[in-house]
Chain A
Amino acid sequence: MMQVSAAQERLLRAKLHRTGCLIRKETRQIVRDPSSIAIGIVLPVILILLFGYGLSLDVTEVPVAVVVEDPSPAATELAASFRLSHYFDAQMTTSMTLAQERMLSRKVDGIVRIRPDFSRLLNLGNAEVQVLVHGVDANYARIIQGYARSAVGQWAARRAAEGFTLATGPVVVQSRMWFNEANESRYFLVPGLIVLIMTLIGALLTALVMAREWERGTIEALFVTPVRTDEILLGKTIPYFILGVIGLVLCLLAAKFLFYVPFRGSLTVLIAASMLYLLVALGIGLLISSAFKSQFVAIQITVLVTFLPAVMLSGFLFDLQSMPVLVRVITYVLPARYYVALLQTIFLAGDIWAVILPNMAVLAAMAATLLVLSYRATRKSLA
């Protein structure tokens, strides 16, 4: 009895030793190759800074030309409400031609036109304010239209308060945005960024590294050594797993101390969710590399099935509900969708188990399936 367990122990120790050696070799390879460090550490830092400081869907100080063709007090007052709004950088003019020239050369992104008959029509109860926007960036243009509507609305409300008969309403919307009262786009961009970085390190880097071993034939050289398939996989994945964790920690620190994104859930849940997603990403990377065995094809496929979906089809930027049915069906097999839901909830809403548990369950199932599949794929190619 004792002897058997001693033998088992020896086997286990040898196994651990072999895996440890592989991990050491892989880690050295990462540390010595500037490109792995570039993707594993430098790119996350660049992305954190870009997402936190550079990208913003919040628009302020939109350059607009305000064309006042009517010198009446009402028109001047309306123009002033554009000039005073911090959403606009209003440039006053009296010439529509000049304003159009400025828009053609994109010095302004919109034109507000108050026509010569404005005050006359206002007294008749039929005045019109014209807003022209440069529509090439449709989203931006819609925001400008919305700002213009509220600037006119504020002016109308002020006039109503001053006793002019100017009915607003009767129904008035009182809106509140939960979890993000100040409407900061950073609050959802930074959690979304974590998804991108985990995908980048987990899937892309792993796929590339394994594909290189296949392409160069060095993996076959590994197969003739005493190391086993599971040891190769562990030795390959553990260093990248650790790199992923470093990326996660960097993001969390930046979210808290640089960008002050609120964190309302618990850290344990966040880490558990991230580990699961990282395992899924690693599994995809391993599977793709063993299926295609070429670095160029592997990177193309990985970008197509992991990175782009993480940006486009995860609900990180674009609303899933508004996508065509076919695309929406596809999103259900993409792990990023579940991770984005988890991160947004844990960061901004808190530990809401009705959201967390189902999404975690899907990720866990995906991780298990993918790891088994990649184990099989690696072993099968051996024969």
Chain B
Amino acid sequence: MVDAFFRVLALTRKELLQIFKDPRSRYSLLIPPILQCLIYGYVATYDLNDVPYAVLDQDHSAASQKFLAALDGSGVFRRVANLNRSVDVKTTINERRALLVVQIQPDFERRLLSGRQADVQVIADGRNSNTAGTAMGYIGEIVESFNASWRKEQGEPNPPIRLTTRAWYNPNLETRWHMIPALIGTLTFIQTLLLTGLSVAREREQGTFDQLLVTPFRPVEIMAGKALPAIFVGIVQATMVLLVAQLWFRIPFAGSFITLYAGLIVFLLAAVGMGLLLSSVAATMQQAMLFSFLLMMPFALLSGLTTPVSSMPMALQYATLINPLRYAIDMAHRVYLEGVGLDLLFPQLWPLAIIAFVTLSGASWMFRHRLT
């Protein structure tokens, strides 16, 4: 037993040396995760802060000026053109000079002053309908506050009902708060999968795997020697993402670090198990890499990272049940933002434990049977 422990330790040491000795592989494990974290943090957001728009003001009245001032003063909308003819609307949108065109009818002020309803046309470039929809939503909010202040000035009563909204766990609804904790799972998943997948495939490709087999190592020990370094690297990377989240983006951490790391270890076992299983199928490094890529893409897409799992069709929602990343992202959100303890993480932990158990025992079976 003690011998086995020392053998695993020796193999772990050799693996870690192999990973960190080569400066290129050292940097490629450390720099890309931090870079990705920063890029995702700044870029991966559906919030808009600069929307170029054009105006076709057919009224040219004090009221229309005031309305446009409300748009210009919002800090989000930037007027790039004042159009004079309605035919210009088409070219402005077609040639992507503006995302929106706001069209004000000639009787805008007259209708407002006489207490009637005045329409404002908003035409959006729907080539990216998500962006266009978000921009329209912003316009709606600005119009609402314009209406309120107009009524106030005219001495009209406010509508008797108002909507107040509040968001749990993410008061300003920042996409970043959703994205960065999710990266704790996503980035470590990608790296551990690649690392374990490659380390066995490399030995096999270079013929050193056969040499390992004639040593006193048992297959389980070889597996442990391959798994431990990858888990270690995964923990280091998760910590780096966590540091970026806390020190750079300053996203408040609601839970306990012990809970987070305990959950991470279960998740990493599942990820490493997948990597090992994959490497036992792959004959060369190239195959290992391509197969892990083939696995990673659907896992990342079906994890809830970019689109909510609940919006997927039922069949795919079932498919996400075997996706370790889905549980890892859930777990990271729940601990990081909601602050739940280990007892409430149970729904995420047991599927991960089952995935880890199945993949690890599958991999060790494959190890033994590919050897003979």
Interface set of A (CB-CB < 8 Å, partner B): 33-36, 38-39, 42-43, 46-47, 50-51, 53-60, 63, 103, 109, 121-142, 145-146, 148-149, 152, 156, 166-181, 183-185, 187-188, 204-205, 208-209, 212, 292, 294-297, 299-301, 304, 308, 312-313, 315-319, 321-324, 327, 341, 344-345, 348-350, 352, 354-355
When C-beta atoms are compared, the residue in chain B nearest to A39 turns out to be B290
In the complex, besides A322-B51, A352-B95, 11 extra interface pairs with C-beta distance below 8 angstroms are A35-B291, A43-B294, A51-B301, A132-B165, A174-B120, A176-B123, A296-B28, A300-B28, A321-B99, A344-B128, A348-B126
When C-beta atoms are compared, the residue in chain B nearest to A37 turns out to be B290
Whether A125 pairs with B32 at a CB distance below 8 angstroms is no
Interface size on B, residues (CB 8 A): 106
Whether A35 pairs with B287 at a CB distance below 8 angstroms is yes
Give the docked Cα–Cα distance between A174 and B124 (Å).
11
Give the docked Cα–Cα distance between A184 and B128 (Å).
10
When C-beta atoms are compared, the residue in chain B nearest to A40 turns out to be B290
Q: Which residues of B have CB within 8 Å of A301?
A: 28
Given contacts A53-B316, A348-B126, contact A319 B158 (CB under 8 A): no
Whether B124 pairs with A349 at a CB distance below 8 angstroms is no
Interface set of B (CB-CB < 8 Å, partner A): 24-25, 28, 32, 35-36, 39-40, 42-52, 67, 91, 93-96, 99, 111-112, 115-134, 136-137, 139-140, 143, 146-147, 150-151, 156-171, 173-175, 177-178, 194, 198, 282, 284-287, 289-291, 293-294, 297-298, 301-302, 304, 306-308, 310-313, 316, 333, 337-338
Whether A129 pairs with B123 at a CB distance below 8 angstroms is no
Smallest CB separation, A164 vs chain B (Å): 9
Given contacts A294-B24, A319-B131, contact A170 B163 (CB under 8 A): no
Whether B42 pairs with A324 at a CB distance below 8 angstroms is yes
Give the docked Cα–Cα distance between A178 and B45 (Å).
23
Whether B290 pairs with A322 at a CB distance below 8 angstroms is no
Give the docked Cα–Cα distance between A33 and B128 (Å).
38
When C-beta atoms are compared, the residue in chain B nearest to A113 turns out to be B164
Counting from the closest, the 4 A-B pairs by CB-CB distance are: A135-B167, A135-B170, A180-B126, A35-B290
Given contacts A170-B118, A321-B51, contact A177 B129 (CB under 8 A): yes
Whether B175 pairs with A348 at a CB distance below 8 angstroms is no
Give the docked Cα–Cα distance between A35 and B308 (Å).
30
Whether A135 pairs with B171 at a CB distance below 8 angstroms is yes
Whether A39 pairs with B293 at a CB distance below 8 angstroms is yes
Given contacts A142-B173, A177-B132, A208-B289, contact A137 B124 (CB under 8 A): no
Smallest CB separation, A116 vs chain B (Å): 16
Q: Which residues of A have CB within 8 Å of B118?
A: 169-172
Selected from A54, A59, A183, the residue in CB contact (under 8 A) with B126 is A183
